[in-house]
């Protein structure tokens, strides 16, 4: 697709904008980078934007300055999980991206997968692990290896591959430390893709090749082994089919505005949904900006169009 023009033309129409960044989730450091990049892009375009880190006293900052809208650049719990969206909604301050429901469901990988299954969308086979009593069912239902995940974290934090019963026990202990439900998923050998979604349109898919191992925290943010391929190399009709599935999954969890859907493909060519991210990374090296660039949308335009999602749906509804 080609880059689409913005609907709002005058930066003054956005009013005073708070960029929420940082917070106290496990993804604080990435959020500070995303938020800073977003803030600079807004300011470059003449938007009256200010950084607000909730750890410095959200209420104090919001009562000192009256903000017209919020660009949410918080990743993880407390920013991406619906709680901030609920607070802002009650305060009557419009914000970017998904509302309470879409944020909360997307943050919970277990509930998201149950919803995917209910909708008839494929996702890797899985089991909820609530205690060591559940371990015995893992080889029977999923076989080894499996991926063990805390249901409520992002950025691959707390994920571990388990190849046998002892490593399953260790992976479970590590994931359970995050104080949320834990799931085991059947291992998928890939390839892996992600679909960026902007104003309810799917941008060109990106193929992620993390080389050895999987797309873990190090591969995401530090490794130079990780390759991103965009355009992704799929036949156009296959890319369109996967893109449509991702948009349907995004809508099924109640997500709106912008985000990213991660999936892998099995040997039969079937796309298996991993998760929906409602506030994906927005550093200059992140995946949504990469997909936007492929669609002819610059980082600044992307940040602007995401800010437009804080306006009513009608404001950015397009005829095409």
Ligand X SMILES: Nc1ncnc2c1ncn2[C@@H]1O[C@H](COP(=O)(O)OP(=O)(O)O)[C@@H](O)[C@H]1O
Q: Which residues are catalytic?
A: 27, 155, 221, 260, 262, 275, 277, 281
Query: Please, which residues bridge with residue 261 across strands?
Result: 195, 276
DSSP state for residue 133 in the 8-state scheme = G
- Span of 73-81, 97-105, 180-188, 227-235 interacting with ligand X by CB under 6 A: 180-188
Pairing of β 160-162 and β 192-198? unpaired
CB atoms within 10 A of CB 20: 26
| Torsion sign across C-alpha atoms 230, 235, 240, 241 | negative
- Residue 72 CB-half CA count within 13 A: 34
Among residue numbers 53 through 92, which ones bind ligand X (CB under 6 A)?
Answer: none
User: Rounded CA gap, 109 and 115, in Å?
Assistant: 10
308 binds ligand X (CB under 6 A): no
Q: Which does 192 bind (CB under 5 to 8 A by kind): Mg ion, ligand X, none?
A: ligand X
- Binder to ligand X among 25, 103, 155, 256 (CB under 6 A)? 155
Q: Which of residues 272-301 bind ligand X (CB under 6 A)?
A: 274-275
Binding mask of the shown chain, residues 112 to 151, with x at each position contacting ligand X by CB under 6 A:
------------x----------------------x-x--
Q: How far is the CB of 62 from Mg ion (least distance, A)?
A: 31
What contacts 294, CB < 8 A, 6 or more positions away? 203, 204, 230, 231
Least Å from the CB of residue 150 to ligand X: 9
Q: How far apart are CA 103 and CA 35, in angstroms?
A: 18
Q: Nearest approach, Cβ of 32 to ligand X (angstroms)?
A: 18
Reduced to 3 DSSP states, what percent helix, strand and coil does the chain have, rounded to the nearest 5?
A: 40, 20, 40
CA distance 169 to 160: 11
Give yes or no for residue 187 binding ligand X (CB under 6 A): yes
CB of 210 to ligand X, least distance (A): 6
Report in angstroms how near the CB of residue 194 gets to ligand X at its nearest: 8
Considering only residues 162, 188, 287, 297, which one is a binding residue for ligand X as defined by CB under 6 A?
188
47 or 142: CB nearest ligand X:
142
Answer for which of 33, 159, 196, 255 binds ligand X (CB under 6 A) is 159
Contact set for ligand X, span 206-265 (CB under 6 A): 210, 214-215, 262
Determine how many CB atoms are found less than 10 A away from the CB of residue 118. Answer: 9
Report the C-alpha gap between 65 and 163 in whole angstroms. Answer: 53
Tokens of 49: 């934007």
For binding to ligand X (CB under 6 A), which residues are involved?
124, 147, 149, 154-156, 159, 185, 187-188, 192, 210, 214-215, 262, 274-275
């Amino acid at each position: 697709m080609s880059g689409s023009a913005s609907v709002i033309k005058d930066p003054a129409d956005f009013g005073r904008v708070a960029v929420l960044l940082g917070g106290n989730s496990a993804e604080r450091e990435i959020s500070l980078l995303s938020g800073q990049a977003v803030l600079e892009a807004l300011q470059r375009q003449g938007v009256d934007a200010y950084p607000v880190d909730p750890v410095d006293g959200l209420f104090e900052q919001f009562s000192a300055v009256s903000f017209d809208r919020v660009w949410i650049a918080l990743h993880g719990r407390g920013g991406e999980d619906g709680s901030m969206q609920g607070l802002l909604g009650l305060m009557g301050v419009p914000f970017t991206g998904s509302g309470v429901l879409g944020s909360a469901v997307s943050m919970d990988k277990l509930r998201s997968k149950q919803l995917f299954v209910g909708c008839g969308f494929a996702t890797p086979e899985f089991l909820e692990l609530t205690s060591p009593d559940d371990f015995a069912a893992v080889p029977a239902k999923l076989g080894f290896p499996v991926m063990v995940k805390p249901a409520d974290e992002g950025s691959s934090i707390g994920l571990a591959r388990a190849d046998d019963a002892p490593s399953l026990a260790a992976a479970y202990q590590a994931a359970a430390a995050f104080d949320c439900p834990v799931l085991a998923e059947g291992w998928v050998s890939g390839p892996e893709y992600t679909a960026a979604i902007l104003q309810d349109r799917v941008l060109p898919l990106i193929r992620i090749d993390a080389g050895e191992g999987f797309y873990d925290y190090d591969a995401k943010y530090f490794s130079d082994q990780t390759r991103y391929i965009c355009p992704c190399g799929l036949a156009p009709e296959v890319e369109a089919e996967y893109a449509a599935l991702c948009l349907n999954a995004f809508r099924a969890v109640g997500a709106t505005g912008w985000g990213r859907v991660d999936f892998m493909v099995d040997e039969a060519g079937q796309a298996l949904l991993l998760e929906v991210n409602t506030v994906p990374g927005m550093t200059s090296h992140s995946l949504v900006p990469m997909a936007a660039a492929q669609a002819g949308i610059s980082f600044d335009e992307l940040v602007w169009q995401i800010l437009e999602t804080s306006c009513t749906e009608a404001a950015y509804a397009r005829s095409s």
